[in-house]
A and B are shown apart, each in its own frame.
Chain A
Amino acid sequence: MLKRNIPFFTVFLFFFGGCSVVKFSPKSSEYVPVKQNTVADSSTVLWLSKYKDSVEQIMNVLVAKTSSDLLNIRYKGKIDKDRSTEANLARVCADFMHQAAQNWASNQPFTKVDFTISNYGGFRVSLFAGDITLGQLYELSPFDNEIVIVQLNGLQMDTLLNQIAEKGGCPISNAQITLGNDHWLKATINGNLFDSRRNYWVATNDFMQQGGDGFTALKYPQKKIQTGILVREALINGFSQEFEETGDIKPRKEDRFIFSENQ
């Protein structure tokens, strides 16, 4: 009997010992939140302090105060209709970019920027009611992208407006656009109805201008001017100036996109 048990045991070992089967344990797998009451590791606190001190010098400088929450929400389609009365950070940022581009352009051979367009991905965090520090504006706009001004002809503008429509809107300033499902229906730019026979000056960031986020209409403009102004600088100036002048940041609750029921 013993002799015959050997092959049996070999087979047994082959199936149980030689081939390792890994099993996932769903019951013990979980996420662990990093909460306020989690004790801070003192050696990490010490290590971080060598960086923290110099970063805090930048981070803690007060730039402005806001009485309303400025929310970083991507308003799209119907959501925009329902929530358009909420203060929208994207509108504030687009306005500050527009101001910076216009100021810059006023010292140049051409005198104005028709409108400004940005991408939602360019603005990264919400700003809640209270202090706005320089550090928060670095978090809002961490990238070193600069403002560029491009001239587009009517056909390129038409393509750009359709690309905006396909995305269901994006941060814009000094324009109002009525959108169908994936195409634009009506556009008012700088107070006037869009005219496909003329050229338009559009301010944007260099990332988008190079075709980033799929805005290919900006890639081969009639003319392109680099301002050298970082988007972040434009925002810092915008926030600081508006706060200085008005003591607050205007929440910008108005619609910039109208979503048409009739396609």
Chain B
Amino acid sequence: MNRKKFIQLSSTLIAGSLLNGNELEASGIWGKEELVILHTNDFHSRFEPFPSSHKTWGNKGGISRLKTLIDQYRSQYKHILLLDSGDVWQGTAYFNVFKGHPELEWMKNVNYQATTIGNHDFDLGIDHLSELRKKYQTPTVLCNYQINHQGFQEIIQPFKIIEMGKFKVGITGVAIDFKDLLPQKSYEGIIYQDPVEPLQMTVNELRNNHKCDLVIVLSHLGYQYDSDKIDDLKLAQKTEGIDAILGGHTHTFLEEPIIIKNKTGKNTVVNQAGWAGLRLGKLHFQI
């Protein structure tokens, strides 16, 4: 094989690798692997199904059924992640009586691998939130708050890396601007930053320094606003290197995951699973 032919052949193969990845993968030579992400958001202390009198969600939801589904997928797929996008508590008498202990105990029992913080998670104050997440070792990721509160600092990681088979997954989180949503005393010691820049820096670190090949963002910003307020759709467009944004806050029931062109024209998946444990989001990735 002469040099010219070799270059031609390699170019064809390189182009082939970029254009026909599916066909090559389907050949099975390189051993395709699958990772399944299960995700929830805005659980709001809904341990029980909605009462039968409820016109929309009567008899739906409930953690005992949710657990069955999670177990089922865990036995079906080898590589599986369970993630949550915030507002785990506030909404039923469970929270008024037990102040958030059962919510975080449930998350620990069912082994959520990463979560982020929602505005209602601050409802009993930042000290309480920090204390409980420490007690239940809730894995919490968040990259857009400047933190000057020791307890909160202890429970927050900017990102988490999980390796599963061929997958190296980087997970980070973005939380909402609490101004107008929370009384000031409940978030003393933290400053909200617009998420675009800190998130991009975190994603770059996950991609470039840690060589993650799947980057997931847990977001409590909300799915979509008519105003220029940042939301998951805008965030997807303004960033790069993110495979999926798993949202919350707006309690949005999406019929299917939304695919957005990011800053460089590549795809970012945006998803949200309603609220109250009524749905489990399920995303499949292949490598």
Contact A48–B183 (Cβ < 8 Å): no
Contact B269–A24 (Cβ < 8 Å): yes
Kindly list chain B residues whose C-beta atoms are within 8 Å of the C-beta of A52: 47-48
Closest to A211 in B: B180
1/0 per position for A31-63, CB-CB distance to B under 8 A? Answer: 111111011111111011001101100110000
Kindly list chain A residues whose C-beta atoms are within 8 Å of the C-beta of B253: 31
Listed residue (A45, A54, A138, A207) with the most chain B CB atoms within 10 angstroms of its CB: A138
Question: B149-157, B187-195, B279-287: which one contacts chain A?
Answer: B279-287
Is residue A247 within 8 Å, beta carbon to beta carbon, of the partner chain?
no
- Please measure, in the bound complex, the distance between the C-alpha atom of A241 and the C-alpha atom of B282, giving whole angstroms: 47
Minimum Cβ distance to chain A for residue B287 (Å): 5
- Please measure, in the bound complex, the distance between the C-alpha atom of A173 and the C-alpha atom of B62, giving whole angstroms: 36
Kindly list chain A residues whose C-beta atoms are within 8 Å of the C-beta of B244: 24
Minimum Cβ distance to chain B for residue A239 (Å): 15
Minimum Cβ distance to chain B for residue A72 (Å): 11
Contact B21–A23 (Cβ < 8 Å): yes
Question: B129-137, B138-146, B196-204, B254-262: which one contacts chain A?
Answer: B254-262
Minimum Cβ distance to chain A for residue B99 (Å): 11
Contact A212–B180 (Cβ < 8 Å): yes
Is residue B54 within 8 Å, beta carbon to beta carbon, of the partner chain?
yes
- Please measure, in the bound complex, the distance between the C-alpha atom of A39 and the C-alpha atom of B64, giving whole angstroms: 8
Given contacts A1-B1, A31-B273, A39-B65, contact A24 B267 (CB under 8 A): yes
Interface size class of B (residues with CB under 8 A): 35 or more
1/0 per position for B74-117, CB-CB distance to A under 8 A? Answer: 00000000000000001111111110001000100100000000
Is residue B24 within 8 Å, beta carbon to beta carbon, of the partner chain?
yes
- Please measure, in the bound complex, the distance between the C-alpha atom of A233 and the C-alpha atom of B285, giving whole angstroms: 49
Given contacts A47-B109, A48-B63, contact A143 B90 (CB under 8 A): yes
| Residue in contact with B10 in the complex, picked from A8, A36, A38, A212, CB distance below 8 Å | A8
Contact B13–A12 (Cβ < 8 Å): yes
Contact B282–A29 (Cβ < 8 Å): yes
Kindly list chain A residues whose C-beta atoms are within 8 Å of the C-beta of B91: 124, 139, 142
Contact A40–B213 (Cβ < 8 Å): no
1/0 per position for A121-140, CB-CB distance to B under 8 A? Answer: 00010101111001110110
Kindly list chain B residues whose C-beta atoms are within 8 Å of the C-beta of A5: 1
Is residue A20 within 8 Å, beta carbon to beta carbon, of the partner chain?
yes
Is residue A22 within 8 Å, beta carbon to beta carbon, of the partner chain?
yes
- Please measure, in the bound complex, the distance between the C-alpha atom of A183 and the C-alpha atom of B127, giving whole angstroms: 40
Contact A135–B61 (Cβ < 8 Å): no
Minimum Cβ distance to chain A for residue B175 (Å): 18
- Please measure, in the bound complex, the distance between the C-alpha atom of A1 and the C-alpha atom of B1, giving whole angstroms: 7
Contact B93–A138 (Cβ < 8 Å): yes
Minimum Cβ distance to chain B for residue A33 (Å): 6
Is residue B14 within 8 Å, beta carbon to beta carbon, of the partner chain?
yes
| Residue in contact with A26 in the complex, picked from B34, B94, B183, B257, CB distance below 8 Å | B257
Kindly list chain A residues whose C-beta atoms are within 8 Å of the C-beta of B257: 24, 26, 29
Residues in chain A within 8 A of chain B (CB atoms) = 1, 4-5, 7-8, 11-12, 15-17, 20-26, 28-36, 38-45, 47-48, 51-52, 54-55, 58-59, 69, 124, 126, 128-131, 134-136, 138-139, 142-144, 206-207, 210-214
Closest 5 CB pairs of A and B: A40-B64, A38-B65, A41-B67, A25-B284, A138-B93
